[in-house]
């Protein structure tokens, strides 16, 4: 299996480990990730305004590269995933945006959202299959109670992301179970961690993030996984002692890659 790979800025700097482990895991599962040439930063958050085009271009370029390569784009970072998927949805459905972007980029063939975006987790579920993962697990995480933290970006808006049930998702729980651990469901798993307010006012992000971890703890989680570097940062910084790791770390460990 070959996919185009969009690492995103965070994975190239602060979170190089995430990038490395994601690639190694993919390799172990027989997936080849080809990094998109000359990819540019997605901007970190989807530009909601209907009249902004410039801020959508880098995402469109990535999607066009994927269309040309004929395979879906895989992202590990849920922010990139959110931006790419929603921008692509705009290209599919919003005539004005599509028209303006195409006039700006002037591709040989106008782009209308033909490319496909997959989050690494979606790739695991829909392309690799959790059953395959279950078979390939060398170190089952038996006995560990793990809570999944989805946050906002993976799930919302539900109709556009079409990732999972936005109010009662299960993909990360299935992932945890496939690795042999026990998945702990808790109500705050789709509540916001405080996001980019971390820059301005860490008191707020601390409040939001500790509420999430408190909820996970109450439900019996001993550790928490996430799919977003910013969530990871906020959760780790909120002062709670519950360990929070990136989901690929867990996969890396279970596949016995170190």
- The answer to the question of residue 216 lying near another protein (CB under 8 A) is no
Q: Do 1 and 30 contact (CB within 8 A), yes or no?
A: yes
Q: What are 155's two structure tokens?
A: 């799930």
Q: How far is the CB of 235 from another protein (least distance, A)?
A: 12
Candidates 152, 179, 251, 254; binder of another protein (CB under 8 A) is 152
- The answer to the question of residue 54 lying near another protein (CB under 8 A) is no
Q: How far is the CB of 233 from another protein (least distance, A)?
A: 5
Q: How far is the CB of 248 from another protein (least distance, A)?
A: 15
Distance CA 102, CA 113 (A): 11
Candidates 24, 28, 34, 47; binder of another protein (CB under 8 A) is 47
Candidates 37, 38, 51, 143; binder of another protein (CB under 8 A) is 51
- The answer to the question of residue 14 lying near another protein (CB under 8 A) is yes
- The answer to the question of residue 7 lying near another protein (CB under 8 A) is no
What are the CA-CA distances from residue 217 to residues 158, 173, 203 (Å)? 27, 16, 21
- The answer to the question of residue 72 lying near another protein (CB under 8 A) is no
Candidates 21, 61, 119, 156; binder of another protein (CB under 8 A) is 156
Binding mask 170-199 for another protein (x = CB under 8 A): ---------------xxxx--xx-xxxxxx
Count Cβ neighbours within 10 Å for each residue of 4-27 and write b for 16 or more, e otherwise. Answer: bbbbbbbbeeebeebbebbbbbbe
What are the CA-CA distances from residue 256 to residues 4, 83, 132, 214, 243 (Å)? 25, 32, 15, 30, 20
Q: Do 34 and 27 contact (CB within 8 A), yes or no?
A: no
State phi, psi for 248 to the nearest 5 degrees. Answer: -70, -30
Q: Do 175 and 154 contact (CB within 8 A), yes or no?
A: no
Q: How far is the CB of 139 from another protein (least distance, A)?
A: 27
Residues at the site binding another protein, with contacts judged by CB under 8 A: 8-10, 13-15, 41, 43-45, 47-51, 55, 77, 79, 152, 155-158, 165-168, 185-188, 191-192, 194-200, 204, 208, 215, 218-219, 228-230, 232-233, 236-237
């Amino acid at each position: 299996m070959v996919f185009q790979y969009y690492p995103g800025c965070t994975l190239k700097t602060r979170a190089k480990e995430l990038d490395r482990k994601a690639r190694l895991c993919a390799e172990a599962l027989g997936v080849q990730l080809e990094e998109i040439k000359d990819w540019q930063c997605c901007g970190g958050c989807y530009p909601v305004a209907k009249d902004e085009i410039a801020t959508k271009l880098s995402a469109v370029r990535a999607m066009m590269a994927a269309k040309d390569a004929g395979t879906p784009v895989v992202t590990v970072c849920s922010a990139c995933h959110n931006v790419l998927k929603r921008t692509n949805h705009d290209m599919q459905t919003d005539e004005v945006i599509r028209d303006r972007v195409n006039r700006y980029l002037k591709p040989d063939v106008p782009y209308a959202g033909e490319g496909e975006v997959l989050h690494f987790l979606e790739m695991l579920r829909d392309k690799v299959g959790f059953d395959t993962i279950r078979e390939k697990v060398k170190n089952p995480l038996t006995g560990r109670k793990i809570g999944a933290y989805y946050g906002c970006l993976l799930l919302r808006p539900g109709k556009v992301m079409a990732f999972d049930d936005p109010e009662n998702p299960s993909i990360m729980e299935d992932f945890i179970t496939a690795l042999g651990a026990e998945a702990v469901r808790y109500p705050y798993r789709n509540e916001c961690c405080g996001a980019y307010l971390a820059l301005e006012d860490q008191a707020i992000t601390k409040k939001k993030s500790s509420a999430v971890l408190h909820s996970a703890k109450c439900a019996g989680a001993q550790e928490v996984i996430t799919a977003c570097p910013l969530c990871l940062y906020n959760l780790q910084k909120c002062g709670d002692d519950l360990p929070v790791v990136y989901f690929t770390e867990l996969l890396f460990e279970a596949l016995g890659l170190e």
